[in-house]
Amino acid sequence: MKLPYAEPYRIKMIEEIRQSTPEDRAKWLKDADFNLFNLKSSQVFIDLLTDSGTGSMSDRQWSALMTGDESYAGSRSFQELQETVQRITGFRFLLPTHQGRAAENVLFSVLVKDGDVIPGNSHFDTTKGHIEMRKAHAVDCTIDEAFDIENMHPFKGNIDLEKLENVYQQYPKEQVPFCLITVTCNTSGGQPVSLENIKAVKELSDRYGIPVYFDSARYAENAYFIKKREAGQEHRTIKEICKEMFSYGDGMTMSSKKDGLVNIGGFVALNNEEVFRQASNITIIYEGFITYGGLAGRDMAALAVGLDEATEFDYLESRISQVEYLGAKLMEFGIPVQKPIGGHAVFVDALKFLPNVPREEYPAQTLGLELYKEAGIRGVEIGTLLADRDPETRENRYPKLELLRLAIPRRTYTNNHMDYIAAGLKNVYDRRNEITKGYKITWEPPLLRHFTVKLEEA
């Protein structure tokens, strides 16, 4: 018999979580203006809001915290981090930041200006926010297969080279500061980008003289999928694949809260000395001196260890198999999910799940609220609320998919939790035909509305 995967660690410390009653939850939701971000964590039993900064650190990471060097300049922990980033990514220069969006701010402050166009594969919302804030435009060049949830394409994060070349032909080089490849692609369902595609994007971009940058939040998970799914890659180590992946880029932004296996942090890593010099000034203004960038020395020490642990195959096998386990359970129940199952989350298709809720009443948000009411589980809407309004017309932007994301924190829950989540969602699925009404907005901010929007029952 083939031995199944099992976690390559055992649990040394636990944190209590508490159940609540459906009555409690109905009241708490009303108090939270039907926005799951407004709930207190104590009101949530299983928290799948995000896999960002919510994972568990290892004993090696916790001990690294104790030896962190808190020097303002030239910290040893910075040097350890820089050595690790250079070894894994090959990028020469490192600027730590307090998280991923801060890395975007640092890099984009240097590279992006009014009227620019930044092609990529379904830019993440803060990334798009940082682009649009500078009156530039993000152009989505993801392959069409990504938007058909049944399509089993192994690399649904891939960039469509024809769409990309159209951008390069339509705009002068000066207006396209870089192409951004997001690995894995969060917005289209935690879907990977193949090494072949990354290489082809690099070759095409080189021909037009346009740099390539990575949004690397989940780069190790992307490398795992390359190893598992791409011909000729199965015998390589994750670290070898990462090194090659990054060799096709000019730099990266990183949210260390994902594949850095830490609770806070980010960085920019790059090769171009002039960009580094300018980005250093921005770092000093917004983050801190260039050898700590808004982090404590101990944060950098734990991150250096985390980057190494996250690029080990056994860790990734157990991490991604758990997400797959939940996805398989949901599929067994006939629940419509994005296929193949992504790296960090299962994405439930709310338009198929709740066909009776009108699009204007936010079906994915409605599904998230129903799941919370049912079982105390908190997911997150990846749909019309997240897609925000068109900056010019101020009309709702209806994305191709309306999804409820169930993001699985790293090394945090067991498969019993996965069974509980699947059962909770099945109970909602069994009563889906009775759910005919969604929600309407009572207040929203001008940008990134899903974090703070207020809603009422429609």
Which positions lie near ligand F0G, rule CB under 6 A?
A: 50, 52, 99-101, 124, 126-127, 182, 186, 215, 217, 255, 257, 266
Q: Mind spelling out the 3-state secondary structure of 402-434? A: CEEEEECCCCCCCHHHHHHHHHHHHHHHHCHHH
The phi and psi torsions of 179 (rounded to 5 degrees) equal -105, 140
User: What is the C-alpha separation between 404 and 371, in angstroms, rounded?
Assistant: 10
Residue 450 is a catalytic residue: yes
Alpha-helix runs per DSSP H in 149-218: 161-170, 195-208
Write down the least CB distance from residue 364 to ligand F0G, Å: 15
- Dist CA 12 CA 352 (whole Å): 41
Q: Minimum distance between the CB of residue 26 and ligand F0G, rounded to whole angstroms?
A: 26
Minimum distance, C-beta of residue 214 to ligand F0G, in the bound complex (Å):
10
**What's the rounded Cα separation, in Å, for the pair 347 and 326?**
11
Residue 101 or 227 having the CB closest to ligand F0G: 101
Q: Residue 323: helix, strand or coil by DSSP?
A: helix
Q: Are strands 380-382 and 403-407 parallel, antiparallel or unpaired?
A: antiparallel
- Is residue 125 part of the annotated active site? The answer reads yes
Structure tokens at 57: 């650190």
Nearest CB to ligand F0G, comparing residues 337 and 357: 337
CB of 173 to ligand F0G, least distance (A): 25
Half-sphere exposure of 177 (CA within 13 A, CB side): 19
Q: What is the CA radius of gyration of the chain?
A: 21
Smallest Cα–Cα separation from 180: which of 108, 91, 247?
Answer: 108
Q: Measured from the CB atom, is 77 or 182 closer to ligand F0G?
A: 182
Minimum distance, C-beta of residue 212 to ligand F0G, in the bound complex (Å): 16
Q: Which of 27, 31, 72, 390 is catalytic?
A: 72
Please give the Cα distance from 368 to 371 (Å, whole number).
Answer: 5
Least CB distance to ligand F0G at residue 120 (A): 10
In terms of CB distance, is 43 or 186 closer to ligand F0G? 186
- Choosing from 51, 116, 125, 140, the catalytic residue is 125
The answer to whether 258 is a known catalytic residue is yes
- Give helix 59-66 / helix 297-310 axis angle, nearest 10°: 160
Cβ of 452: how many Cβ atoms within 10 Å?
A: 13
- Beta pairing class for 377-378 and 345-349: unpaired
Which two structure tokens, joined as six digits, stand for 209?
């003289």
Distance of closest approach, residue 4 Cβ to ligand F0G, in angstroms: 29
Output the residue with the shortest Cβ distance to ligand F0G. Answer: 100
Q: How far is the CB of 179 from ligand F0G (least distance, A)?
A: 15
Judged by beta carbon, residue 126 or residue 271, the one nearer ligand F0G is: 126
Cis peptide before 184 (omega within 30 of 0): yes
Comparing CB distances to ligand F0G, the nearer of 182 and 322 is 182
124 is catalytic: yes
Mutual orientation of helices 219-229 and 238-247 as an angle, nearest 10°?
A: 110
Residue 125: name the closest of 48, 50, 211 by CA. 50
Residues 408, 414, 420: CA angle, nearest 5 degrees: 80
Cβ–Cβ under 8 Å, residues 175 and 117: yes
261 Rama sector, left if φ>0, alpha if ψ -120 to 50, beta otherwise: left
Looking at 64, 138, 217, 279, which residue is catalytic? 217
Q: Residue 127 or 142: which CB sits closer to ligand F0G? A: 127
Query: At its nearest, how many Å lie between ligand F0G and the CB of residue 122?
Result: 9
At residue 287, the 3 state secondary structure works out as coil
Q: Are 85 and 91 in contact (CB under 8 A)?
A: yes
Q: Give catalytic residue positions.
A: 72, 124-125, 215, 217, 258, 450
